[in-house]
Amino acid sequence: METEELVMEELLSVEAEIQDVQDQIKTLFDRQEKLEERQSELRALLEACKASGSPVQGCPSTTSENWSGPFQWDSEADDVRLNVFGIPSYRANQREIINAVMSGKDVLVIMAAGGGKSLCYQLPAILRDGVALVVSPLLSLIQDQVMGLTALGIPAFMLTSTTNKEVEKFIYKALEKGEGELKVLYVTPEKISKSKRFMSKLEKCNHQGRLSLIAIDEAHCCSQWGHDFRPDYKSLGILKTQFPGVPIVALTATATGKVQYDLMEMLHIPKCVKFVSTVNRPNLFYKVREKPSVGKEVIDEIAEFILESYSNHESGIVYCFSRKECEQVSAELRTRGISADYYHADMDPGAREKVHTRWSKNKLQVIVGTVAFGMGINKPDVRFVIHHSLSKSMETYYQESGRAGRDGLPSECVLFFRPADVPRQSSMVFYENSGLQNLYDIVRYCQTKRQCRRAAFFKHFSEALQDCNGMCDNCAFSNEIIELDVSNYAVAIVSLLKDVLENDQRLTMLQLVDKMKSKHKQLGSTLKKEQLEQLVVQLLLDRVLKEEFQHTAYATNAYVTVGPLANQVLQGKKAVKIETCNKEKSKTAGDVKTVKHRLSGLESKLDELRKELSSNHGGIFPHSVLSSQQMSMISTEKPNSMEELEKIIGKLKAEKYGDRILEEIGKFAGSEDELPEIEASKEEEGSSDKRASKRLKTRKNVVLIDSGDEEP
Ligand SMILES: Nc1ncnc2c1ncn2[C@@H]1O[C@H](COP(=O)(O)OP(=O)(O)OP(=O)(O)O)[C@@H](O)[C@H]1O
């Protein structure tokens, strides 16, 4: 008997050790997977550097074909840009991309939403002889583009399931015989993969030297690592094989290094010239708000936000997790006086189209949609994108929030986050490639109360850091953040889960938090329920815990169990901390109400500053006093006189960024090599202006602001 007990004891200890070893193996495998991913990203960057010689983010350029010109088609291109498209000047990279396509190169374009990708293939399509083929994933997107081009007098057509026989005949004739006027032809990827007839006409067109270029829009759909993988995009590789002499231009708004590498392989364009524009959208203010646990309260907060900040019926989108939620949220918003309607995949296409059109024409303020409200949303003046629920990845969030402010004007992106939303998403994405890893990245973005939100995007897309300019809640509002050491709670959670496991039971995140709550009540716990939830999520991110999934006939349930690093916590080798705010930052940070309040206090001080300026100086606008960074903080417009500057300030004030502008005005009078003025704004109101006026008295090339002028 005694021997049996001893054996039993040893068996348990061996089993525990095996578990430990397995945990370590799992950690190492995870690490290996991450490293391999990074390895392939770096290889892709290296390839791209070698192949293109063009500036690639994160990789120094090796050659330097100068794509800015001059080229023989320069004046013709300028003429078409201005007189056909009505565009006065190129945006960043557009000229270079057009020149590379015109030179017959394969080109990969990564440019943020609204950056102006279409011009990059539409302009060469007009300049080059023959027909340009454009592959685009969505009918609605194609219809919009064809309508737009036709309105400009450009012969553009689409060949899709909705095309009538007559038009189809015209297109085939134009391809085969060059009859009729056809400059740009839009198709879906299915046409390439499924229609032999179409491919044979295209062959003939190319044979006669009339296929001018091939554009592949939303090219990230080629890669299964991307967020919108479309199987038919995989077969687009055939285009380069069949038409090797025709330049391919692949365009997308987002692609990590891995996706770029993948799509270059899929499309057989390894030597393409690559143009990567920044993912930064400087006009978007990112913030995360704590999501109340009561559904109605969430809607109250969303409604309050819209009614207070966007009372002039400015357009917005609210993204929800499910179709049902979508319908509920839109109904609730309506009862609170907001003109809202829902949009999801379960509606018939006619009804969806109707909602979209009403919204596009500003007859509806808010669309409450699921992810189905996605590609092809071209409304330029969307002022806010609210996420009622967590997105499934950084890429998805970047895309969805990026539908705000395509016109370049200040807009807000607000994500309502609550840890309990994590298992809802994880039980949906755990079977996808890197699904959980992607989800945990966006959860990390939401959990932090310290790190710049923008920096998370730069990191995710392997781009060098850029200044956020105070355009996210964590950078703009320096509320005191306290770091709580909650290692003892972590130990209690791990021990509890081990007990549960030994009894062959499982706990969901909410059950675990409830158990902890009742357990800690007895111990006189100080952590609130929300903080316990935050802690459990933190432990998931830190791999102390992990999620496991179980399928039932109706759903997949997510459970929380001990993870690879659980023992380190038990052994006291790993400290666990959570961040908490002194004030309830997430509720107030960046709200228009807050900004307006600060602004009204500062306005009277601006008047004082004006008076001082006018009594001292002679009206010379001191361009030299402003660094380009300061200038860009104020506006993308460049003022040439004080009057113009004041107008811009007035406009920006109306757009709620007045307090930052005042800070900048304070800087006009200061020397750039003084201490960073940005700090002044964080002092008590008024102190920055006092310092500014002091400097005014001592400085020579200062500004005159006419004290008699009305605030524009
Ligand atoms: N150089 C330019 N100057 C001013 N406006 C421009 C310029 N280039 C493009 N635009 C305008 O910018 C808007 C967005 O362009 P476009 O639709 O091509 O963006 P996109 O990069 O394709 O965005 P998305 O990825 O969201 O589809 C359009 O209204 C377009 O006419």
- Lowest-pLDDT range, 329-343, 379-393, 586-600? 586-600
- Rounded to the nearest angstrom, the distance between the alpha carbon of 121 and the centre of ligand 1 is 12
Q: Supply the DSSP symbol for 375.
A: T
Indicate which atom in ligand 1 lies nearest the CA of residue 377.
26
- Rounded to the nearest angstrom, the distance between the alpha carbon of 559 and the centre of ligand 1 is 45
Q: ipTM beyond 0.90?
A: yes
* Atom 15 of ligand 1, residue of closest alpha carbon: 116
Q: pLDDT tens digits for 236-270?
A: 999 999 999 999 999 998 887 778 888 899 999 99
Q: Are 662 and 690 in contact (CB under 8 A)?
A: no
**Pocket probe mutation, ligand 1, options 378, 379, 398, 403, max atoms within 8 Å of Cβ:** 378
Indicate which atom in ligand 1 lies nearest the CA of residue 402.
26
pLDDT over 80 at 27, yes or no: no
Q: Supply the DSSP symbol for 84.
A: T
Burial (CB < 10 A; 0-12, 13-18, 19+), residue 434, is middle
pLDDT band at residue 2, thresholds of 50, 70 and 90?
low
- Rounded to the nearest angstrom, the distance between the alpha carbon of 411 and the centre of ligand 1 is 17
* Atom 31 of ligand 1, residue of closest alpha carbon: 116
Buried b (16+ CB within 10 A) or exposed e, 249-278: bbbbbbbbbbbbbbbbebbbbeebbbbbbb
Alpha-carbon distance of 43 to 469, in angstroms, equals 32
pLDDT band at residue 701, thresholds of 50, 70 and 90?
very low
Q: How many CB atoms lie within 10 A of CB 709?
A: 12
pLDDT band at residue 177, thresholds of 50, 70 and 90?
confident
Indicate which atom in ligand 1 lies nearest the CA of residue 141.
27
Q: How many CB atoms lie within 10 A of CB 595?
A: 18
Residue whose C-alpha is closest to residue 703's, from 644, 655, 658? 644
- Rounded to the nearest angstrom, the distance between the alpha carbon of 681 and the centre of ligand 1 is 35
Q: pLDDT tens digits for 29-82?
A: 767 767 776 776 676 666 656 555 544 443 433 335 789 879 999 999 999 999
* Atom 4 of ligand 1, residue of closest alpha carbon: 87
Name the region of 112 (left: φ>0; alpha: ψ -120 to 50; beta: rest). Answer: beta
Pairing of strands 411-417, 556-562: unpaired
Q: Are 123 and 80 in contact (CB under 8 A)?
A: yes
**Pocket probe mutation, ligand 1, options 406, 409, 636, max atoms within 8 Å of Cβ:** 406
* Atom 24 of ligand 1, residue of closest alpha carbon: 113
> What is the H or E stretch that residue 168 is in?
helix 165-177
Alpha-carbon distance of 213 to 132, in angstroms, equals 5
Residue whose C-alpha is closest to residue 56's, from 643, 463, 558? 463
CA 145 distance to own-chain centroid: 23
How many helices and strands (H and E) does the chain possess? 28, 17
Q: Give strand pairing partners of 367.
A: 317, 341
**Pocket probe mutation, ligand 1, options 90, 93, 118, 138, max atoms within 8 Å of Cβ:** 118
> What is the H or E stretch that residue 498 is in?
helix 487-502
The phi and psi torsions of 206 (rounded to 5 degrees) equal: -65, -40
Indicate which atom in ligand 1 lies nearest the CA of residue 218.
25
Q: Are 562 and 498 in contact (CB under 8 A)?
A: yes
- Lowest-pLDDT range, 61-70, 285-294, 325-334, 386-395? 61-70
**Pocket probe mutation, ligand 1, options 81, 119, 401, max atoms within 8 Å of Cβ:** 119
- Rounded to the nearest angstrom, the distance between the alpha carbon of 380 and the centre of ligand 1 is 9
Alpha-carbon distance of 190 to 369, in angstroms, equals 26
Q: What is the mean pLDDT of the chain?
A: 79
Q: pLDDT tens digits for 419-473?
A: 999 999 999 888 877 789 899 999 999 999 989 999 999 888 878 888 888 889 9
Sign, CA dihedral 203-206-207-208, equals: positive
**Pocket probe mutation, ligand 1, options 80, 85, 87, max atoms within 8 Å of Cβ:** 87
| Residue 2: C-alpha distances to residues 9, 11, 15 (Å) | 11, 14, 20
pLDDT over 50 at 600, yes or no: no
**Which residues' Cβ are closer than 6 Å to ligand 1?**
87, 90-91, 94, 111, 113-119, 253, 378
Alpha-carbon distance of 463 to 458, in angstroms, equals 5
Work out the average pLDDT over 669-684: 26
Residue with tokens 């737009």: 148
Q: Are 390 and 475 in contact (CB under 8 A)?
A: no
Q: pLDDT tens digits for 437-452?
A: 899 999 999 999 989 9
- Rounded to the nearest angstrom, the distance between the alpha carbon of 114 and the centre of ligand 1 is 5
* Atom 1 of ligand 1, residue of closest alpha carbon: 90
Model pLDDT, residue 678: 21
Q: Supply the DSSP symbol for 222.
A: G
- Rounded to the nearest angstrom, the distance between the alpha carbon of 77 and the centre of ligand 1 is 17
The phi and psi torsions of 517 (rounded to 5 degrees) equal: -60, -50
Residue with tokens 């939620």: 325
Work out the average pLDDT over 267-277: 92
Alpha-carbon distance of 323 to 326, in angstroms, equals 5
- Rounded to the nearest angstrom, the distance between the alpha carbon of 284 and the centre of ligand 1 is 17
Rg of the chain on CA atoms, in Å: 29
- Lowest-pLDDT range, 7-16, 501-510, 546-555? 7-16
Alpha-carbon distance of 627 to 483, in angstroms, equals 36
Alpha-carbon distance of 30 to 257, in angstroms, equals 19
DSSP for 563-596 reads -TTHHHHHTT-S--EEEEESS-HHHHTT-HHHHH
Sign, CA dihedral 205-209-210-211, equals: positive
- Rounded to the nearest angstrom, the distance between the alpha carbon of 569 and the centre of ligand 1 is 51
Q: Are 198 and 118 in contact (CB under 8 A)?
A: no
- Rounded to the nearest angstrom, the distance between the alpha carbon of 92 and the centre of ligand 1 is 11
Report residue 595 as tokens.
């900004």
Q: Are 257 and 45 in contact (CB under 8 A)?
A: yes
Residue with tokens 């994405």: 429
Alpha-carbon distance of 356 to 362, in angstroms, equals 10
Indicate which atom in ligand 1 lies nearest the CA of residue 91.
1
> What is the H or E stretch that residue 560 is in?
strand 556-562
Pairing of strands 481-485, 577-581: antiparallel
- Rounded to the nearest angstrom, the distance between the alpha carbon of 377 and the centre of ligand 1 is 12
3-state SS assignment for residue 204: helix
CA 251, 256, 259 angle in degrees (round to 5)?
A: 70
Q: Are 466 and 458 in contact (CB under 8 A)?
A: yes
- Rounded to the nearest angstrom, the distance between the alpha carbon of 274 and the centre of ligand 1 is 19
Burial (CB < 10 A; 0-12, 13-18, 19+), residue 17, is exposed
Q: Give strand pairing partners of 578.
A: 484
Sign, CA dihedral 691-693-697-700, equals: positive
- Rounded to the nearest angstrom, the distance between the alpha carbon of 645 and the centre of ligand 1 is 27
- Cβ neighbors of 245 (< 8 A, separation 6 or more) are 104, 206
